[in-house]
Chains A and B, each alone.
Chain A
Amino acid sequence: MATELLIWLIPLPPVLAFFLIVLFTNKNKALSHSVAISAAFLSWLGSMVVFVRALGVEHLGEHPFESAINWLPTGDTWLKVGVLIDPLSAAVLFFVAWTVLMIFIYSVGYHNYGQPAGDHDHAGLPPHGATVHGHAVPSVEPMYSRFFAFIGLFAFGMYTLVVSDNLLTLFVGWEIMGLCSYLLIGFWFGKPSARNAAVKAFMTTRIGDVFMLLGISFLYYATGTLSYREIFNEETLHVLATVPSGVFGLSAAGLIAILLFIGTIGKSAQFPLHVWLPDAMEGPTPVSAMIHAATMVSAGVYAVIRMFPLLSAGYEGHGLTAAMSVVAFIGAFTAIFAATIAVAQNDIKRVLAYSTISQLGFMIAALGIGAYVAAVFHLITHAFFKALLFLGSGSVIHGMEHGVLHTGNHSVDPQDMFNMGGLRKKMPITFWTFLIGGFALSGFPLVTAGFWSKDEILADAWGHGHMAVFITLAVAAFLTAFYTMRQITLTFLGEARTKEAEHAHETPFTMTVPLMILSVFAIGYGWVGIPEHFPLLGGLVPNWFHEFVGGTLAEHPEAVEFSIIPLATSLFVALGGLFFGWLAYRNVKSVAQDKLQIPLLKNKYYFDEAYDYLFIKPAIWFSEVFVSKWMDKGFIDGILHIFGPATGGLGTFIRDKFDVPVVNRFFGDGSADATYWIGKNLRPIQTGRIQQYLILSLIILVVIGGLLFALLVRSA
């Protein structure tokens, strides 16, 4: 099959699965998940074929696979949309395909396929368990089929976004994922917390989206196209970089880049729009992995990577452009800001959520300082190990839920790390894979993928002299290692702190196999990007990643020169953070002993509260009181309601003052009265006597005759 056609087909199976499940197979659980997983498999297969073929093309950056069709008639021309596989999208397609497939398989076990229906379960709430022969056992998710339909649509959105050759279909995929994340976060819509989290996620990301829409409109207007390859030529970029936009002294390119970047701030949960992501943990765990690692949040970073030529238009290796400075600042600040919150969270998934925000900040910061390849590299390694960690945490929660069902004490929160402990013995596969993921996140030297990608970002920051970014990210990396080890220690090491943890259980193979496969990537993916001049290891394996992905840009980015200082720093922060994390938490028995339960951190710097007071409450007041009550019902309708009485009043006035006295009384009644009066007064002469009539006639005849005579004769 022609590669271009294949690329067109990649996103389709999951969306077909969505329609099939919704319309036909939703009553049958086995059929539904088979349809969904087969679809994910087909897309995976297509992606792998495309990836392999892409590897075989020399200078793929200059000669990508592409194909486009006319989509929208606009005046005399057409807006074209199409697909494109260049090195960047090939690399992204690879990790998306793998993580999506793993998550699909994992979901089967996570939603308790094969278990009986729950005793009191119903749609909209998590399953509560069933009783079989007097034993409490997990029960299957009541909306099992629906879940697979939703993640199918989600996968469609992500694949669409990746294979797009233009911003418009990227935005389509972007928003479809937004919808799915809304549906999936609110999957257990019966819980008010989930319902609210869903709305919050959608609205917060929508703030970014409307700015992005403006950016797309501006770009489309300025260039007449939305296809990457038509925009990213030297001439167009040069024009965009030199034309002023009229806003804050930015160039057109700068303003467009910032508008588009605000979309990413929303989607990738960067400060100040980060608030939705931790709440999004209300969704089922595979969703968290899907949203936070594999797809949606990565999509935000991917968009900035895509727009990098625009972002860096006018940048000549020194002196960041205004747009780049903004991006670097937001990224670095988010990286450290979220890391400080993560150290004080007790919910196993929330730690990972803040960790995700922080790691995305690393990537954004890397893009801001021009470290293009490092950002892509970290995006991909992070996708693998963070998906692994989220799925691992889901496995832990699943194991803990088993314990909760066993003891029957439902007041124990199966997600609170202080209720865990010692799980390494109960759940060995989960433990080892989680450890791999955690170490990759911390940047454990040499072995893990996270080390290589994070090190490259630090090296780039150092190499280009962005000291503020370097120091910020180094501190954030230290905190990362620290909270990761805190999490591992509290969850898996030591002894069980509750009865529920004692009765936790390893999860079924559908869940553990994806964990094992992802672990392979969490380690191995780092080796494709080892810098050439790295001591000992450098040069043993070619730095394929840099060569390949760097080829996406028109100007191949140079690898930064090796320096010992960033390397030493990353070794120190990773190992130091891990060590201190272990040291501080190895003997903690209860939450009271945790010294980091600082209210300011636990409450996430009170951002939710502040936004509530600053934006949400005023908006509700503005809608319900100002616009609806005062403006529409009060003012506008008030004026309209004057017309009724005013017209009525005018009518009454006219009737009372003119119609009744003048028309009715004077003319109407008056003329009748006058006629009557005249008639009455003339009656006496109507005597009926012929003599009188004759005399009267004679008199009149004489008078008229006299008049005529006088007039005619005198005048003649």
Chain B
Amino acid sequence: MDFLNTHLLSLILFVPTIAALVMLFLPSGETKLLRWFAFSASLIPFVLTLILWRNFDPDVTGFQFQEIYPWYEALNSSLHLGVDGISISMVLLTTLLTPLAILASFSVTDRVKPYMMLFLFLETGMLGVFMSLDLLIFFVFWEIGLVPMYFLINQWGSANRDYASLKFMIYTMGGSLGLLLAVQMLGVLFGTYDLVALYERWNSLSADSMLLGMSVHTVKTIAFWAFAVAFAVKVPLWPFHTWLPDAHTEAPTAGSMILAGVLLKLGAYGFLRLVLPFYPLEAKIFAGALAFLAVAAIVFGAFAAYGQTDFKRLVAYSSVNHMGFVVLGIAAAGLAAGTTDAHIAMDGAVLQMFNHGLSAAGMFFLVGVIYERTHTRNLEEFGGLFPLVPVYGGILIFMSMASLGLPGLNGFVSEFMVVRGAYPVLTVYTAISMLGLLFTGAYILKGIMKVLHGPVNEHWAHGDHKLTEINTREIFVVVPLMALILVIGLWPAWILEVINKAVVALF
């Protein structure tokens, strides 16, 4: 038990990788064994995360369950892990979604072994970002996560997968170049990559000292944008978002679930773990610019989603729309740092990350369910499916409403908090974002209308085309998501209290 407590984070982090390596030695032909092995292996981090959650003390300021192992001593970089109220909720999201994504992938029959292994590697990559307290390690995990996802899209994706996977990979890597340079600069300047140490030293620099021959302010401004662009691509903010609809649409169902559910959060997490603490002054100065991009993402994301005829692209664009609220909250928090407005905005942003993870994963999964049966995503070919698949229809409406932000479900709580937090400091932007919120309704209803409503669809009603109802395994994938969506909608305090305490301590 003692070992468990002291090594909890590294266990959660590396169990998936170990499991993936074990899978190497399993026979490739035994698909059933491989699936169940991967699924059970991904449940271990989840159970460990539950233990972590139970033992986590929200009242303690700073990071908990810290572990430090030497890694690259010449550079003074170490494998430093730790969680606070913000990252623990992201860890929970990741370890929850991965088993569900693997369960959703049970219908994959092509090269099951590498597929499942990639998913497990992916989980380690994502968790590493959320847990690292060392800038170099952060960057390493940040990039590692790209590789499995690239192959998942490239090898198991649909028709246009080459284009989509390349765009995804190049775009994200391109965005990270500045981040890499800025990270190096910090390392050179302070001789350490340790986040906790950097927080202190970086912000205790006096304003008139010179760095690399430039004023501190200039250096920080450059570094701020280097960080911001990298994270903006990942979130994604307008106008860096066009990789997303392609990647999400072409990825296999479970890949889209993880992409939308977790990978996008890495960008937002970068903003609140690195950008705001490192550059509080710049975050204040450039809050308007960030808010502008966020609102553009909210509004154009909603319009673009409404303009799609491909069901999956519609859902993909909804992520642009929803993640815009996260960044709007972050911008407001940066601007109003230290006030209740900032706390509410930031609470809302973090909760919105969690909530979007649930609902976006659910939506992509439901699109996948119907795509698997019909092999089309064209909304014009659907319509009138409700009588054929009433259970699926009910679930789809539920999930859509969560995505729409219906009060009583989770999305509303976080969107309301973001709007409330942003309203006093970014009034005009918040007011414009309401246009996006209005059109969220439009595209969600368009999705429901074009898929479920209308005269019974004769094409999918009979014979070979007969659409089958959602099966038990698929229901098992979606029920945990629905339950959490409802629980957070009705009683958000259980998770928000953890987030809120960390937010108050940090900002």
Instruction: Please list the residues of chain A having a beta carbon within 8 angstroms of any beta carbon in chain B.
Output: 22, 70-77, 122-124, 168, 171-172, 174-176, 179, 182-183, 186, 189-192, 195, 198-199, 202-203, 206-207, 210-211, 213-214, 216-218, 220-221, 619-620, 622-629, 631-633, 636-637, 640
Contact B455 A220 (CB under 8 A): no
- A213 and B384 alpha carbons, distance in the complex (Å): 33
Q: Which of B477-507 contact A (CB under 8 A)?
A: 491-493, 496-497, 500-501, 503-504
A186 touches B408 (CB 8 A): no
Also in contact, A75 and B406, with CB within 8 A (given A190-B454, A203-B441): no
Given contacts A73-B496, A636-B242, contact A218 B387 (CB under 8 A): no
Contact of B407 with A189 in the complex, beta carbons under 8 Å: no
Residues of B within 8 A of A176 (CB): 406-408
User: Are A213 and B416 touching (Cβ within 8 A)?
Assistant: yes
Q: How far is the CB of A12 from chain B (nearest CB, A)?
A: 12
The answer to whether A217 and B430 have CB atoms under 8 Å apart is: yes
Q: For A216, list chain B residues within 8 Å (CB).
A: 416, 420
Contacts of B241 in A (CB 8 A): 632
Among A183, A190, A210, A220, find the residue whose CB has the most chain B CB atoms closer than 10 A: A210
> Which residue of chain B has its CB nearest to the CB of A142?
B387
Distance between B361 CB and nearest chain A CB, rounded to angstroms: 22
Given contacts A175-B407, A199-B445, A217-B420, contact A75 B343 (CB under 8 A): yes
A-B contact list, 21 entries, CB within 8 Å: A74-B344, A76-B340, A77-B340, A124-B387, A124-B456, A186-B453, A190-B453, A190-B456, A195-B454, A198-B453, A202-B441, A203-B438, A210-B434, A214-B419, A217-B430, A221-B341, A628-B303, A631-B300, A632-B242, A632-B304, A640-B171
Separation in Å of the B335 CB from the closest CB of chain A? 14
Identity of the chain B residue whose Cβ is nearest the Cβ of A176 in the assembled complex:
B408
Assess the B420–A220 pair: CB atoms within 8 A: yes
B23 contacts A by Cβ under 8 Å = no
Please tell me if the beta carbons of A175 and B408 are within 8 angstroms of each other in the complex.
Answer: yes
Query: Taking the nearest CB of chain A, how far is it from the CB of B310, in angstroms?
Result: 11
Q: A74-B343, A189-B453, A624-B307 are in contact. Are A206 and B438 (CB under 8 A)?
A: yes
Asked whether B430 lies within 8 Å of A189 as measured between CB atoms, the reply is no
Residues of chain B lying within 8 A (CB to CB) of residue A71: 491-493
Residue of B nearest to A123 (CB): B387
The bracket for how many chain B residues form the interface is 35 or more
Residues 405-440 of B at the A interface (beta carbon under 8 Å): 406-408, 412-413, 416-417, 419-420, 423-424, 430-431, 434-435, 437-439
Q: Which residues of B contact A214 (CB under 8 A)?
A: 419, 423, 430-431, 434
A352 to B113, CA, bound (A): 65
Does B392 lie at the interface of the complex (its beta carbon under 8 Å from any beta carbon of A)? no
Report the nearest B residue to A146, measured CB to CB: B390
B320 to chain A, nearest CB (A): 10
B442 within 8 A of A: yes
| Smallest CB separation, A584 vs chain B (Å) | 41
Looking at B401, B407, B408, B438, the one whose CB has the most chain A CB atoms below 10 A away is B407
Closest-CB distance, A363 to chain B (whole angstroms): 25
A54: shortest Cβ distance to chain B, in Å? 27
B394 in the interface (beta carbon within 8 A): yes
Residue B19 CB within 8 A of the other chain = no
Q: Is the CB of B300 within 8 A of A213?
A: no
Q: Are A75 and B340 in contact (CB under 8 A)?
A: yes
A571 to chain B, nearest CB (A): 45
The yes or no answer to B167 lying at the interface (CB within 8 A) is: yes
Q: Do A206 and B341 touch (CB < 8 A)? A: no
Nearest chain-B residue to A246 (Cβ)? B427
Q: Is B347 part of the binding interface, using a Cβ–Cβ cutoff of 8 Å?
A: yes
Give the shortest distance, in Å, between B384 (CB) and chain A (any CB): 7
A190–B455 contact, CB under 8 A? yes
Are B500 and A75 neighbours in the complex by a CB distance under 8 Å?
yes
Q: Distance (Å) between the CB of A343 and the closest chain B CB?
A: 33
Q: Given A72-B417, A216-B416, 8 other A-B contacts at CB below 8 A?
A: A124-B387, A179-B406, A210-B437, A221-B423, A623-B304, A623-B306, A623-B439, A628-B303
Chain B residue nearest to A205 in the complex (CB):
B441
Contacts of B397 in A (CB 8 A): 183
Residues of A within 8 A of B386 (CB): 123-124, 189
The residue on B at minimum CB distance from A174 is B407
Cα distance A75–B435 in the bound complex, in angstroms: 28
CA distance A174 to B406 in the complex (A): 10
Contacts of B155 in A (CB 8 A): none
Q: Is the CB of B420 within 8 A of A189?
A: no
Q: Which residues of A contact B453 (CB under 8 A)?
A: 124, 186, 189-190, 195, 198
CA distance A220 to B424 in the complex (A): 10
* Chain B residue contacts of A217, Cβ below 8 A: 416, 419-420, 423, 430
B431: which A residues are within 8 A, CB to CB? 214
Q: Does B452 make an interface contact (CB < 8 A)? A: yes
- How distant is the Cα of A73 from the Cα of B351 in the complex, in angstroms? 12
Note all chain A residues with C-beta closer than 8 A to B413.
72
Question: Top 9 closest A-B pairs, CB basis?
Answer: A623-B307, A75-B343, A628-B307, A624-B307, A172-B407, A189-B453, A210-B434, A623-B306, A123-B387
Q: Which of B401, B442, B453 counts the most A-chain CB atoms under 10 A from its CB? A: B453
- Contact among A199, A218, A624 with B423 in the assembled complex (CB-CB below 8 Å): A218
Considering the chains assembled together, what is the distance between the CA atoms of A631 and B241 in angstroms?
11
Chain B's nearest CB lies how many Å from the CB of A185? 11
State the CA gap A627–B341 with chains docked (Å). Answer: 33
Give B337-355 as 1s and 0s: 1 = Cβ < 8 Å from A's Cβ atoms. Answer: 0001101100100000000
Residues of B within 8 A of A628 (CB): 303-304, 307-308
Q: Pick the contact of A190 from B384, B390, B446, B504 — CB < 8 Å?
A: B384
Q: Find A73's partner among B242, B384, B439, B497 (CB 8 Å cutoff).
A: B497
Collect the chain B residues with CB atoms within 8 Å of residue A172's CB: 407-408, 412
Given A72-B493, A172-B408, A190-B384, do A207 and B438 touch, yes or no (CB 8 Å)? yes
Contact of B239 with A by CB under 8 A: yes
Contact in complex: A189, B493 (CB < 8 Å): no
Q: Which of A71, A75, A76, A620 has most B Cβ within 10 Å?
A: A75
Closest beta carbon of chain A to B200's beta carbon, Å? 24
